[in-house]
C-alpha cells in the first residue's frame, strides 16, 4: 500500500516539488522493504511517510529543511556513530537519541547502502516470528 501525501504537511502546504521529492525517496524505500514481511506504510500527523512493523517505525521520509526531502533510518548506537562519522548521515533531529540517522534529500546517497540500512532497521524492530520468516533469529 502506498501512503497518499496529497495535501499533507504543515497546513496541507507541501509544494509539488517537495511532494515529488518525498515520493522519489519513498519509492526507493518501497523497493527496499518489498521482501520484508508485514511492513506497513502510512502518513503521520507531520506529513512524514512512515514505514512500520506493527506499531514500530523504522524508516521515515520527510520534507527536509527546505523541501528537498529527507530520509530517517533507525539504527543501533554503534552503526549510528559510524554513519555520522563518515557522512553524509547526521544524527536525526528530535529522534537521534534513539539511534536514528538522517540524510537530507539534496545529498548524494548510495541507494544500495540505504537498502542494507533499511533491512538492518527492520531487524531492530521486527518481532522474532517475522525475523524467522526471513531465515533469521
pLDDT in tens, 19-78: 899 999 999 999 999 999 999 999 998 889 999 999 999 999 999 888 889 999 999 999
Whether 13 has a pLDDT exceeding 70, the answer reads no
pLDDT of residue 17: 86
Grid coordinates belonging to 124: 531492530
Has this prediction a pTM greater than 0.85? yes
pLDDT of residue 136: 65
For the chain, domains (ranges, CATH) are: 15-129 (3.90.1150.30)
Amino acid at each position: 500500500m502506498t501512503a497518499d501525501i496529497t495535501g499533507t504537511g504543515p497546513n496541507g502546504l507541501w509544494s509539488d516539488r517537495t511532494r515529488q521529492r518525498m515520493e522519489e525517496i519513498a519509492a526507493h524505500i518501497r523497493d527496499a522493504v518489498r521482501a520484508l514481511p508485514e511492513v506497513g506504510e502510512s502518513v503521520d500527523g507531520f506529513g512524514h511517510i512512515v514505514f512500520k512493523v506493527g506499531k514500530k517505525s523504522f524508516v521515515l521520509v520527510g520534507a527536509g529543511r527546505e523541501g528537498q526531502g529527507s530520509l530517517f533510518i533507525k539504527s543501533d548506537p554503534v552503526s549510528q556513530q559510524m554513519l555520522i562519522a563518515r557522512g553524509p548521515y547526521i544524527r536525526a533531529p528530535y529522534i537521534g537519541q534513539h539511534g536514528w540517522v538522517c540524510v537530507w534529500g539534496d545529498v548524494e546517497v548510495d541507494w544500495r547502502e540505504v537498502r542494507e540500512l533499511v533491512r538492518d532497521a527492520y531487524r531492530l524492530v521486527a518481532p522474532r516470528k517475522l525475523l524467522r520468516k526471513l531465515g533469521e533469529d
